Amino acid sequence: MVTFIPFGEKPNREGVLYALNLLKRNKLIDDYIIVESTRIGLLPDRIPADKAYISGEHLVTYGIAKRLRPRALISVDAHTDLMHDYLDHASWLAYALEERFVERAAVLAPVLMIPTTERTKLWTRRVKVYPALLRSRKVRGKWKAYKNFQTNSVDEILMEVRKYLGKEIYLTVDMDVLRPEYRIARFQHGELTGEELLNLLEEIKRRFEVRAFDITEVSDRMKHSRLGKRIFLEVFSLLSGG
């Protein structure tokens, strides 16, 4: 079964319902449920323990994690979602780690790495970040490069992630990780092409036991995007296949 969660602002809610109809038209689903809520705190008690979730707001993954409590999680996202100021779509992973719904996590292919203000802290405990582009951080007074997708292969990165997380994971895929021409998410975009995203997800499926997954940040922009519709269908087909 697939759980559709039209949570958040109107463009995201409508995007989820559009995704539902798109998958039905392409005969990719037949068994599904729609779960609605106006508050994130209510979602864990409402959603089923499913294998696949579609949402328009990445904060929903916090609710799913609270319901499923996966030991390890991989997030494929243009953002780290590790801001640690208040709970929203930019901080859900920080709070899931802090509250131990998730014990360990890895964020793959982000482009936005730093807090938005001086008062905003970035959560760093029990999580590893692998940027899309070359990025550096200060470690004990010296600048050190993150292992990243620009200078390292997918194979190198996923070998390290497997050692850190173990075999069984929950996988969340934020569609804003794609370049802007795919026009699925509403705000900032990432640096991956559709081909690069599919290759990364294929390798994750090959190397890990994916306990469950979600595809998130789906908005109503996809209605007018041929590339967006195609890559959404391809990502869903890949992740939901045997």
Task: Please give the Cα distance from 56 to 121 (Å, whole number).
Answer: 25
- pLDDT(62) > 80: yes
The least confident of 2-11, 112-121, 209-218 is: 112-121
- pLDDT(225) > 70: yes
Average pLDDT score, the chain? 92
Q: Give the CATH number of the domain where residue 92 resides.
A: 3.40.800.10
DSSP state of 167: S
Model pLDDT, residue 133: 85
Q: How many domains does the chain have?
A: 1
The pLDDT confidence band at residue 169, using thresholds 50, 70 and 90, is very high
Token representation of residue 174? 């934020």
- pLDDT(28) > 60: yes
Terminal Cα-to-Cα distance of the chain (whole angstroms): 14
Model pLDDT, residue 219: 93
- pLDDT(142) > 80: no
pLDDT digits (tens, 9 = 90+) for 68-90: 999 999 999 999 999 888 888 88
pLDDT digits (tens, 9 = 90+) for 101-133: 999 999 999 987 665 556 667 888 999 999 998
Model pLDDT, residue 220: 93
Model pLDDT, residue 198: 98
Paired residues of 108 in beta bridges:
76, 130
Indicate the pTM of the whole model.
0.94
Task: Please give the Cα distance from 160 to 149 (Å, whole number).
Answer: 13
- pLDDT(97) > 90: yes
Expressed as residue numbers, the domain containing 194 is: 2-240
Average pLDDT score over residue span 162-189: 93
